[in-house]
Amino acid sequence: MTRVYVQTFGCQMNVADSNGLAHAAWSMGCSFVTDPAQADIMLLNTCAIREKAETRVYGRLGQLKTVKDGNPGAKLLVCGCLAEKDRAVMLRKAPWVDALLGPRDYGRFKQVLSEWGVASDEPPPDAVFSLPSAEDDPGESAHAEFAHLRALVNITRGCEKFCTYCIVPYTRGPLESIDPEVIEAQIQHELRCGAREIMLLGQNVNSYHDEATGLDFAGLLVRLGAIGGLDRLTFLTSHPKDFNRDVVDALATLPNAAPRMHLPMQAGSDRVLAAMARLYTIEEYLEKVAYFRERLPGWALTTDIIVGYPTETEADFLETLAVVERGTFESAFIFAYSPRAGTPAATMSPQVPKEEKIRRLQAVNAAQNDATRRFHESFIGERVRVLAQGPSKKDPTRMAGKTGHNITVVYPLDDRTAHAPFADIVAEQAFNWGLAGRVA
Ligand code: 5AD
Ligand code: SF4
């Protein structure tokens, strides 16, 4: 039986793709291993969003060369955005890689496996499909017992917004919306496998549009929200240009929508937003946020921010900082701009010096940490419902899980909680990273 090792870098989209690839391998009779030295095929699903992501992938490829040297029959397959972006250079930089498949090439995956001698067309007997580790750090992967509680379901693929800093439209190609019946069938399948939370995925879910029925994202939410037995429905990512009141209104009618929204702002300066080709002003962005706050009080708003975009001045940066300091977001992912070859911003000048980008990053991070901690503190003494992730990685004598707001909660591991998908917890302590509490 062919043994496959899978390691995933990057976003949830890659995690979902890895699941799909692993399922295809399983359906051809492969099994999975967590140690690459035991594998016949090593699959790395890679990310190219920032330079750091690339550096990590090349570092890992170096380690896997040593593994391959010890097991010369093994094959190394590189998938994902870096496989697409570095198609021309990877085989020179890492000639021990056997094949590359970009995100639009996954239709060829089974063919590659059969060329490598994966002969069977039957899943392994008596085996239920379960991927041991789709996550970045194989040693610290999600606990198998709890991994199926959350399922990722693609609703769109690709992106054609071409924000000037972003490599994704080049690696993942133009937008495609998935047939609502296919989406529904996958959700039903995940629910039968025990999922309690469904996360709808797309680079820009708000541009969902089904040609055949005219269904848009708001309509899709209403349709999917009616599926019985679904505890939590959530989605990632929205583009503020396409995010509209209909989506907020649809969310307000859903009993099972998780109370959180991710709406990447990227910058607080109109000049920078225009340079990024984001297609909205900060005033328009904040208007949408105001409607969201009015209709969905108590929800958590999260965002992505880039500091040090080329030409960003101190005054531009201070506008971004001011939005964060006002406590606009419950949480934020803040990035230093990283030039991506082939995107318009990479050749824009002047580029912001590295030290300056780091200074700006730290300042926005500090402001956001204060806001995030205040948000967490607001739960002290409250009862929160937590979807379990399994024993805490930092302290395996306790359980960890997530609230509907997506706050990490650590709680006692005992007879009541050790195997329970949900736990009701009273929050007792607040930290930057989340909450700790006792069983209610
Ligand atoms: N540099 C830094 N951050 C980037 N992102 C996308 N491209 C870049 C880049 N070149 C960030 C954006 C996006 C998130 C997923 O990654 O904030 O929303
Ligand atoms: Fe990249 Fe912009 Fe598309 Fe998001 S919307 S994937 S930032 S191009």
Mutate to test the pocket of ligand 2, among 13, 47, 163 (most ligand atoms within 8 A of CB): 163
Cβ proximity of 369 and 384 under 8 Å: no
- Interhelix angle 245-253/217-225, rounded to 10 degrees, is 10
The overall pTM is greater than 0.75 = yes
Check pocket membership of 161 for ligand 2, CB cut-off 6 A: yes
Which pair of tokens denotes residue 312?
């960003």
Check pocket membership of 306 for ligand 2, CB cut-off 6 A: no
Predicted confidence band of residue 138 (pLDDT cuts 50, 70, 90): very low
Residues, the chain: 440
Predicted confidence band of residue 147 (pLDDT cuts 50, 70, 90): confident
The per-residue pLDDT for 119 is 76
CA distance 249 to 234: 15
Cβ proximity of 236 and 205 under 8 Å: yes
Average pLDDT, the chain: 94
Check pLDDT > 60 for residue 137.
Answer: no
Check pLDDT > 50 for residue 140.
Answer: no
Q: How far is the CA of 91 from the centre of ligand 1 (A)?
A: 26
54-63 residue pLDDT tens: 999 999 999 9
283-341 residue pLDDT tens: 999 999 999 999 999 999 999 999 999 999 999 999 999 999 999 999 999 999 999 99
234-274 residue pLDDT tens: 999 999 999 999 999 999 999 999 999 999 999 999 999 99
Atom of ligand 2 nearest to the CA of 304: 7
Per-residue pLDDT averaged across 150-167, rounded?
Answer: 96
Omega before 347 cis (within 30°)?
no
Protein residue whose Cα sits closest to atom 14 of ligand 1: 304
Predicted confidence band of residue 127 (pLDDT cuts 50, 70, 90): low
Per-residue pLDDT averaged across 120-125, rounded?
Answer: 68
Backbone angle region of 342, left / alpha / beta, with phi > 0 → left and psi within -120 to 50 → alpha: left
The per-residue pLDDT for 126 is 55
395-433 residue pLDDT tens: 889 999 999 999 999 999 999 999 999 999 999 999 999
Check pLDDT > 50 for residue 139.
Answer: no
